[in-house]
């Protein structure tokens, strides 16, 4: 009888010990309602937080934003998780109050072609000239754990929340970009140093010097071209001048391949356009030209750009000749260009002051509507490969990028004037003497009016 009683007592103790261990080593807490929690992932732009749970953006719909925003302006975040709807514990253990959830969030950007946009592009704007095909995809991932207050174990398994949003820059026409800006980006605007030497793309010379010129107007944006809606040109849009082989691009928000380009009006049928929005002036149009850019993902969005490149149309010749020969090639002196038609250098307005130290070195100011070289920039065969301009050779003699004007000095008929096509420099030129400095005098290139 004693043995039986002892056995029963031992069994009860053993059972109690097993039950006690099971109570302590219970079930892990769980993170639940994953779908709704994923929708709480979003981003803040300015003062607004966007997420699907906030009902101001949907995962599969394209949300448009200002095209001047940078990637860094999208601040990825996660709304507060809910201690009731996102927590579950089979043992009834309460959620930890001090830190109910632990999260780690990462995100990645891709363009519409699946190309990853690296972190070093954070300060790049998403729209005008970015080159990224729209819409962009922002994918946010958050690794979450939840915790009970006293349960063992008190940490849940990790759960990954994933949410993607489609983001696009608002579709716009942004810039009209001269081709030389793209192919010779290091030589967009000129500046004159105190020692009479030249500097290119120097921020010190953004503003026009009243004596020497240089710089650019507020309508020109370095690396991008002229604004679509310029302010300083009195309503005139680039280009107002032209020559055979002149080329520019209509720069859009996002990628050029997001658009379908076409010509709506081209009097004389002298203009062509390719699938990336490059417009080539093959010959002088007889009136305003209108270009259409249709957004492929939404054919209801069509942008229109009209320009008139007929105010000054020039035909350059690739040969070195005397003034008299240039006059014959053009068909008369009245068919040659004035200084002001070729450049807006200050010397174009004071070209008889032969000995002015303040005008010795001079150049154009990048501006719409003033002159051929000022509008188009680095006007050489390099800048406009389909044209008949000279290839520039500014590093030494013989310098070939000089073009005759129709002006003859009123005080001394032995002097005429030439313009450098790459920088708009106005030079005094002696008709009869050879080898003044390192420039072979007497000869320059003809450029004629049409």
408 band by pLDDT with thresholds 50, 70 and 90: confident
| 8 A C-beta contact, residue 350 and residue 340 | no
Distance between CA atoms of 50 and 53, rounded to whole angstroms? 8
| 8 A C-beta contact, residue 235 and residue 227 | no
The tokens of 88 are what?
Answer: 């579950």
Q: What is the mean pLDDT of the chain?
A: 89
Q: What pLDDT was estimated at residue 6?
A: 30
pLDDT at 298 over 60: yes
pLDDT at 57 over 60: yes
Q: What pLDDT was estimated at residue 418?
A: 92
Return the domain boundaries, the chain.
Answer: 24-169, 174-312, 313-449
Residue 289's contacts (CB-CB under 8 Å, 6 or more residues apart) are: 263, 265, 266, 267, 271, 306, 307, 308, 309
Q: What pLDDT was estimated at residue 399?
A: 66
169 band by pLDDT with thresholds 50, 70 and 90: very high
- When pLDDT is averaged across residues 295-301 and rounded to a whole number, the result is 97
Chain Cα centroid distance, residue 8: 86
User: Which tops the pLDDT comparison, 225 or 435?
Assistant: 225
Q: What pLDDT was estimated at residue 151?
A: 82
User: Which tops the pLDDT comparison, 91 or 188?
Assistant: 188
Q: What pLDDT was estimated at residue 427?
A: 87
- When pLDDT is averaged across residues 228-248 and rounded to a whole number, the result is 97
Q: What pLDDT was estimated at residue 15?
A: 37
- Per cent of the chain over pLDDT 70 is 89
The tokens of 141 are what?
Answer: 């991932």
Question: What would the pLDDT profile of 90-123 be if each residue is shown by its tens digit?
Answer: 888 899 989 999 999 999 999 999 999 999 999 9
DSSP annotation of 311 reads: S
pLDDT at 175 over 60: yes
pLDDT at 17 over 60: no
Chain Cα centroid distance, residue 243: 26
Q: What pLDDT was estimated at residue 20?
A: 44
pLDDT at 259 over 70: yes
Burial class (CB in 10 A: 0-12, 13-18, 19+), 116: exposed
Q: Cα torsion at 68, 73, 77, 79 (round to 10°)? A: -60
- When pLDDT is averaged across residues 125-139 and rounded to a whole number, the result is 96
Q: What pLDDT was estimated at residue 60?
A: 87
Q: What pLDDT was estimated at residue 69?
A: 97
- CATH 3.30.950.10 is the classification of domain 174-312: no
Q: What pLDDT was estimated at residue 281?
A: 98
pLDDT at 250 over 60: yes
Other Cβ atoms within 10 Å of 267 Cβ, number:
15
Question: What would the pLDDT profile of 142-161 be if each residue is shown by its tens digit?
Answer: 999 999 988 889 999 999 99
Q: Within a 13 Å sphere around the CA of 416, how many CA atoms are in the beta-carbon half?
A: 24
pLDDT at 394 over 60: no
Q: Which CATH superfamily is domain 313-449 in?
A: Mannose-Binding Protein A, subunit A (3.10.100.10)
pLDDT at 200 over 90: yes
| pTM, entire model | 0.86
| 8 A C-beta contact, residue 165 and residue 154 | no
Q: What pLDDT was estimated at residue 23?
A: 46
Q: What pLDDT was estimated at residue 434?
A: 54
The CA distances from residue 446 to 14, 199, 419, 423, in Å, are: 111, 27, 11, 17
Distance between CA atoms of 287 and 263, rounded to whole angstroms? 13
Q: What pLDDT was estimated at residue 409?
A: 81
Q: What pLDDT was estimated at residue 410?
A: 79
pLDDT at 18 over 70: no
Q: What pLDDT was estimated at residue 9?
A: 31
Chain Cα centroid distance, residue 254: 9
- When pLDDT is averaged across residues 77-88 and rounded to a whole number, the result is 90
The tokens of 226 are what?
Answer: 């002229």
């Amino acid at each position: 009888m004693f043995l039986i009683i002892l056995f029963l007592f031992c069994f009860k103790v053993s059972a109690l010990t097993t039950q006690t261990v099971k109570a302590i080593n219970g079930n892990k807490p769980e993170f639940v309602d994953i779908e709704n929690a994923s929708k709480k992932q979003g981003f803040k732009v300015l003062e607004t937080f966007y997420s699907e749970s906030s009902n101001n953006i949907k995962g599969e719909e394209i949300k448009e934003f200002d095209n001047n925003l940078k990637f860094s302006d999208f601040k990825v975040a996660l709304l507060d998780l809910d201690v009731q709807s996102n927590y579950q514990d089979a043992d009834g253990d309460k959620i930890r109050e001090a830190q109910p959830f632990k999260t780690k969030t990462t995100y990645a950007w891709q363009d519409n072609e699946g190309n990853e946009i690296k972190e070093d592009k954070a300060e790049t704007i998403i729209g005008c000239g970015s080159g990224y095909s729209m819409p962009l995809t922002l994918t946010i991932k958050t690794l979450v754990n939840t915790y009970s207050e006293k349960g063992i174990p008190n940490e849940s398994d990790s759960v990954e929340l994933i949410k993607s949003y489609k983001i696009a820059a608002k579709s716009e026409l942004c810039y009209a970009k001269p081709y030389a800006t793209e192919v010779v980006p290091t030589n967009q605007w000129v500046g004159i140093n105190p020692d009479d030497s030249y500097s290119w793309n120097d921020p010190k010379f953004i503003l026009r010097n009243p004596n020497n010129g240089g710089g650019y107007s507020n309508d020109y944006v370095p690396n991008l071209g002229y604004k679509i809606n310029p302010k300083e040109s009195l309503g005139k849009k680039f280009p107002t001048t032209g020559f055979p082989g002149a080329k520019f691009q209509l720069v859009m928000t996002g990628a050029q391949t997001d658009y379908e380009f076409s010509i709506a009006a081209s009097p004389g049928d002298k203009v062509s356009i390719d699938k990336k929005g490059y417009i080539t002036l093959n010959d002088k149009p007889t009136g305003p030209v209108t270009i259409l850019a249709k957004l492929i993902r939404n054919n209801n969005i069509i942008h229109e750009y009209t320009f008139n490149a007929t105010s000054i149309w020039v035909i350059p010749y690739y040969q070195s000749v005397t003034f008299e020969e240039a006059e014959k090639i053009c068909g008369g002196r009245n068919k040659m260009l004035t200084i002001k038609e070729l450049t807006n250098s200050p010397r174009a307005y004071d070209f008889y002051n032969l000995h002015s130290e303040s005008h010795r070195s001079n150049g154009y100011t990048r501006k719409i509507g003033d002159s051929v070289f000022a509008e188009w920039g680095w006007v050489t065969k390099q800048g406009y490969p389909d044209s008949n301009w000279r290839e520039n050779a500014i590093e030494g003699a013989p310098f070939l990028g000089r073009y005759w004007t129709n002006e003859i000095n009123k005080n001394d008929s032995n002097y005429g004037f030439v313009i450098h096509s790459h920088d708009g420099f106005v030079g005094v030129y002696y008709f009869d003497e050879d080898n003044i400095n390192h420039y072979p005098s007497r000869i320059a290139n003809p450029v004629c009016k049409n």
